[in-house]
Amino acid sequence: WSYLGCRSGIKRKSESCTKNNTRAKIKKEVRLVMDINKLKILFTEEQIQNRIKELADEMNNFYGNDEVYAICVLKGAVMFAVDLVKHLNMPLKMEFITLSSYNGGTSTSGKVNAVDISLPDLNGKNVLIIEDIVDTGLTAKFLLDFLNCNFHTKSTKFCSLLDKKITRTADVDADYYGFEVDDKFLIGYGLDYDGYYRNLRYIGYVDKDDL
Protein backbone atom coordinates (compact mmCIF):
# COMPACT_ATOMS: atom_id res chain seq x y z
CA TRP A 1 0.00 0.00 0.00
CA SER A 2 2.64 2.55 -0.88
CA TYR A 3 0.57 3.53 -3.90
CA LEU A 4 1.85 7.02 -4.72
CA GLY A 5 -1.13 8.28 -6.68
CA CYS A 6 -3.80 7.64 -4.05
CA ARG A 7 -5.58 10.51 -2.27
CA SER A 8 -4.79 11.07 1.39
CA GLY A 9 -8.17 9.71 2.55
CA ILE A 10 -7.68 6.48 0.75
CA LYS A 11 -4.11 6.36 1.94
CA ARG A 12 -5.17 6.66 5.63
CA LYS A 13 -7.68 3.88 5.15
CA SER A 14 -5.04 1.73 3.50
CA GLU A 15 -2.55 2.35 6.29
CA SER A 16 -4.99 1.35 9.03
CA CYS A 17 -5.94 -1.66 6.95
CA THR A 18 -2.26 -2.59 6.73
CA LYS A 19 -1.86 -2.24 10.51
CA ASN A 20 -4.80 -4.56 11.14
CA ASN A 21 -3.51 -7.09 8.63
CA THR A 22 -0.03 -6.97 10.16
CA ARG A 23 -1.43 -7.46 13.69
CA ALA A 24 -3.44 -10.48 12.54
CA LYS A 25 -0.40 -11.86 10.76
CA ILE A 26 1.88 -11.45 13.79
CA LYS A 27 -0.73 -13.10 16.03
CA LYS A 28 -0.90 -16.04 13.64
CA GLU A 29 2.88 -16.32 13.42
CA VAL A 30 3.29 -16.27 17.20
CA ARG A 31 0.83 -19.15 17.45
CA LEU A 32 2.74 -21.10 14.79
CA VAL A 33 6.17 -20.40 16.31
CA MET A 34 4.88 -21.68 19.66
CA ASP A 35 3.64 -24.84 17.92
CA ILE A 36 6.98 -25.62 16.33
CA ASN A 37 8.63 -25.75 19.75
CA LYS A 38 6.36 -28.66 20.51
CA LEU A 39 7.39 -30.55 17.40
CA LYS A 40 8.82 -33.98 18.14
CA ILE A 41 11.32 -35.25 15.58
CA LEU A 42 10.37 -38.53 13.91
CA PHE A 43 12.91 -38.73 11.07
CA THR A 44 16.10 -36.70 10.95
CA GLU A 45 17.53 -35.20 7.79
CA GLU A 46 20.17 -37.95 7.75
CA GLN A 47 17.62 -40.75 8.09
CA ILE A 48 15.51 -39.29 5.28
CA GLN A 49 18.44 -38.82 2.92
CA ASN A 50 19.82 -42.32 3.60
CA ARG A 51 16.45 -43.90 2.92
CA ILE A 52 16.05 -41.89 -0.29
CA LYS A 53 19.37 -43.26 -1.56
CA GLU A 54 18.18 -46.81 -0.84
CA LEU A 55 14.93 -46.21 -2.73
CA ALA A 56 16.85 -44.73 -5.65
CA ASP A 57 19.12 -47.80 -5.77
CA GLU A 58 16.04 -50.04 -6.04
CA MET A 59 14.64 -47.87 -8.84
CA ASN A 60 17.96 -47.74 -10.72
CA ASN A 61 18.01 -51.54 -10.63
CA PHE A 62 14.41 -51.82 -11.81
CA TYR A 63 14.47 -49.31 -14.67
CA GLY A 64 18.07 -49.73 -15.81
CA ASN A 65 18.56 -47.30 -18.68
CA ASP A 66 14.86 -47.10 -19.60
CA GLU A 67 13.35 -43.61 -19.76
CA VAL A 68 11.13 -42.59 -16.84
CA TYR A 69 8.49 -39.89 -16.41
CA ALA A 70 8.62 -38.87 -12.74
CA ILE A 71 5.37 -37.21 -11.67
CA CYS A 72 5.71 -35.12 -8.54
CA VAL A 73 2.45 -34.54 -6.67
CA LEU A 74 2.50 -30.95 -5.41
CA LYS A 75 2.83 -29.48 -3.04
CA GLY A 76 3.78 -32.04 -0.41
CA ALA A 77 6.11 -34.24 -2.47
CA VAL A 78 8.30 -31.43 -3.77
CA MET A 79 11.26 -31.94 -1.38
CA PHE A 80 11.19 -35.71 -1.69
CA ALA A 81 10.88 -35.69 -5.49
CA VAL A 82 13.73 -33.23 -5.94
CA ASP A 83 16.06 -35.21 -3.65
CA LEU A 84 15.05 -38.58 -5.10
CA VAL A 85 15.56 -37.75 -8.78
CA LYS A 86 19.09 -36.51 -8.06
CA HIS A 87 20.02 -40.14 -7.37
CA LEU A 88 18.24 -41.63 -10.39
CA ASN A 89 20.53 -42.47 -13.30
CA MET A 90 18.18 -43.24 -16.20
CA PRO A 91 16.97 -40.63 -18.75
CA LEU A 92 14.20 -38.90 -16.83
CA LYS A 93 11.60 -36.20 -17.32
CA MET A 94 9.87 -34.48 -14.42
CA GLU A 95 6.22 -33.51 -14.45
CA PHE A 96 4.30 -31.69 -11.72
CA ILE A 97 0.63 -31.97 -10.86
CA THR A 98 -1.29 -30.39 -7.99
CA LEU A 99 -3.83 -32.32 -5.96
CA SER A 100 -5.31 -31.50 -2.58
CA SER A 101 -7.45 -33.28 -0.04
CA TYR A 102 -6.67 -31.54 3.26
CA ASN A 103 -7.90 -27.97 2.65
CA GLY A 104 -5.43 -26.61 5.21
CA GLY A 105 -6.67 -28.75 8.12
CA THR A 106 -5.13 -31.76 9.81
CA SER A 107 -7.39 -34.45 8.39
CA THR A 108 -8.46 -35.34 4.89
CA SER A 109 -11.68 -33.89 3.48
CA GLY A 110 -12.37 -37.29 1.91
CA LYS A 111 -12.47 -35.69 -1.54
CA VAL A 112 -9.55 -35.30 -3.92
CA ASN A 113 -9.37 -31.96 -5.61
CA ALA A 114 -7.45 -32.03 -8.91
CA VAL A 115 -6.14 -28.47 -8.93
CA ASP A 116 -3.89 -29.05 -11.95
CA ILE A 117 -3.49 -32.44 -13.53
CA SER A 118 -2.20 -31.53 -16.99
CA LEU A 119 0.20 -34.21 -18.22
CA PRO A 120 1.95 -35.01 -21.50
CA ASP A 121 1.16 -38.13 -23.55
CA LEU A 122 2.22 -41.00 -21.27
CA ASN A 123 1.26 -43.84 -23.61
CA GLY A 124 4.05 -46.43 -23.70
CA LYS A 125 6.06 -44.62 -20.99
CA ASN A 126 7.38 -45.71 -17.61
CA VAL A 127 5.53 -43.55 -15.10
CA LEU A 128 6.77 -43.08 -11.56
CA ILE A 129 4.38 -41.18 -9.27
CA ILE A 130 6.13 -39.46 -6.38
CA GLU A 131 4.00 -38.65 -3.32
CA ASP A 132 4.78 -37.41 0.18
CA ILE A 133 2.47 -39.66 2.17
CA VAL A 134 -0.28 -42.21 1.61
CA ASP A 135 -2.92 -41.85 4.30
CA THR A 136 -6.45 -43.06 3.40
CA GLY A 137 -5.12 -43.84 -0.06
CA LEU A 138 -7.85 -41.83 -1.79
CA THR A 139 -5.35 -39.57 -3.54
CA ALA A 140 -3.26 -42.50 -4.73
CA LYS A 141 -6.37 -44.34 -5.96
CA PHE A 142 -7.64 -41.24 -7.75
CA LEU A 143 -4.31 -40.76 -9.51
CA LEU A 144 -3.84 -44.40 -10.49
CA ASP A 145 -7.42 -44.54 -11.85
CA PHE A 146 -6.82 -41.30 -13.75
CA LEU A 147 -3.68 -42.68 -15.39
CA ASN A 148 -5.36 -46.02 -16.19
CA CYS A 149 -8.32 -44.29 -17.81
CA ASN A 150 -6.25 -41.93 -19.91
CA PHE A 151 -3.07 -43.80 -20.88
CA HIS A 152 -1.65 -47.22 -21.66
CA THR A 153 1.65 -46.76 -19.88
CA LYS A 154 4.55 -49.20 -20.18
CA SER A 155 4.63 -49.33 -16.38
CA THR A 156 3.10 -47.32 -13.54
CA LYS A 157 4.78 -47.31 -10.14
CA PHE A 158 3.72 -45.41 -7.05
CA CYS A 159 6.37 -44.17 -4.66
CA SER A 160 5.62 -42.46 -1.36
CA LEU A 161 8.11 -41.27 1.23
CA LEU A 162 5.70 -42.13 4.05
CA ASP A 163 3.02 -44.77 4.36
CA LYS A 164 0.29 -44.56 7.02
CA LYS A 165 -0.91 -48.11 6.38
CA ILE A 166 -3.05 -48.04 9.51
CA THR A 167 -5.43 -45.36 8.18
CA ARG A 168 -5.90 -46.86 4.71
CA THR A 169 -9.48 -47.05 3.41
CA ALA A 170 -8.83 -47.30 -0.35
CA ASP A 171 -7.47 -50.52 -1.79
CA VAL A 172 -4.01 -49.28 -2.86
CA ASP A 173 -0.44 -50.00 -1.95
CA ALA A 174 2.72 -48.08 -2.73
CA ASP A 175 5.25 -49.95 -4.88
CA TYR A 176 8.00 -48.09 -3.05
CA TYR A 177 7.81 -46.32 0.30
CA GLY A 178 10.38 -44.82 2.62
CA PHE A 179 8.96 -45.30 6.09
CA GLU A 180 5.79 -46.74 7.58
CA VAL A 181 4.30 -44.30 10.09
CA ASP A 182 1.62 -44.25 12.79
CA ASP A 183 -1.58 -42.22 12.67
CA LYS A 184 0.00 -38.88 13.63
CA PHE A 185 -0.19 -35.52 11.92
CA LEU A 186 3.27 -35.15 10.42
CA ILE A 187 4.98 -31.90 9.53
CA GLY A 188 8.15 -30.98 7.64
CA TYR A 189 10.13 -31.95 4.55
CA GLY A 190 7.26 -30.97 2.26
CA LEU A 191 4.44 -31.76 4.67
CA ASP A 192 2.71 -28.63 5.86
CA TYR A 193 0.66 -27.35 8.74
CA ASP A 194 -1.67 -24.70 7.32
CA GLY A 195 0.86 -24.07 4.54
CA TYR A 196 3.83 -23.66 6.89
CA TYR A 197 6.86 -25.85 7.70
CA ARG A 198 7.30 -27.51 4.31
CA ASN A 199 10.87 -26.17 4.40
CA LEU A 200 11.98 -28.19 7.45
CA ARG A 201 14.73 -30.69 6.62
CA TYR A 202 13.34 -33.25 9.06
CA ILE A 203 9.90 -34.73 9.72
CA GLY A 204 8.18 -34.31 13.05
CA TYR A 205 4.78 -34.46 14.63
CA VAL A 206 2.77 -32.42 17.07
CA ASP A 207 0.38 -34.07 19.52
CA LYS A 208 -3.18 -33.33 18.44
CA ASP A 209 -3.79 -31.28 21.66
CA ASP A 210 -0.91 -28.95 20.76
CA LEU A 211 -2.27 -28.07 17.31
Among positions 55, 59, 137, 159, the unique one binding ligand 5GP when judged by CB under 6 A: 137
Among positions 108, 146, 196, 211, the unique one binding ligand 5GP when judged by CB under 6 A: 108
Among positions 69, 97, 131, 177, the unique one binding ligand 5GP when judged by CB under 6 A: 131
- Residue 57 annotated in active site: no
Spell out the alpha helix ranges (H) of 98-206: 138-150
- Asked if 173 and 143 touch (Cβ cutoff 8 Å), the reply is no
Residue 139 is a binding residue for ligand 5GP (CB under 6 A): yes
Judged by CB, which is closer to ligand 5GP: 136, or 156? 136
Residue 132 is a binding residue for ligand 5GP (CB under 6 A): yes
CA 85, 100, 177 angle in degrees (round to 5)? 40
Site for ligand 5GP in 50-89 (CB under 6 A): 76
Helices 78-85 and 45-63 cross at an angle (nearest 10°) of 60
The rounded distance, in Å, linking the Cα atoms of 207 and 79 is 24
Site for ligand 5GP in 178-207 (CB under 6 A): 185-187, 191-192
Judged by CB under 6 A, the number of residues near ligand 5GP is 19
* Beta-strand runs (E) in the chain: 40-43, 68-74, 92-100, 113-116, 126-134, 155-163, 176-180, 186-187, 203-205
Which residue out of 135, 171, 182, 194 is catalytically annotated? 135
Judged by CB, which is closer to ligand 5GP: 151, or 185? 185
Residue 102 is a binding residue for ligand 5GP (CB under 6 A): yes
- Asked if 99 and 142 touch (Cβ cutoff 8 Å), the reply is yes
Q: Which stretch binds ligand 5GP (CB under 6 A): 35-43, 85-93, 126-134, 144-152?
A: 126-134
From the list 152, 72, 51, 82, the residue with the least C-alpha distance to 117 is: 72
From the list 89, 31, 32, the residue with the least C-alpha distance to 65 is: 89
Judged by CB, which is closer to ligand 5GP: 137, or 178? 137
- By annotation, the residues acting in catalysis are 135
Residues that bind ligand 5GP (CB under 6 A): 76, 101-102, 108, 131-140, 185-187, 191-192
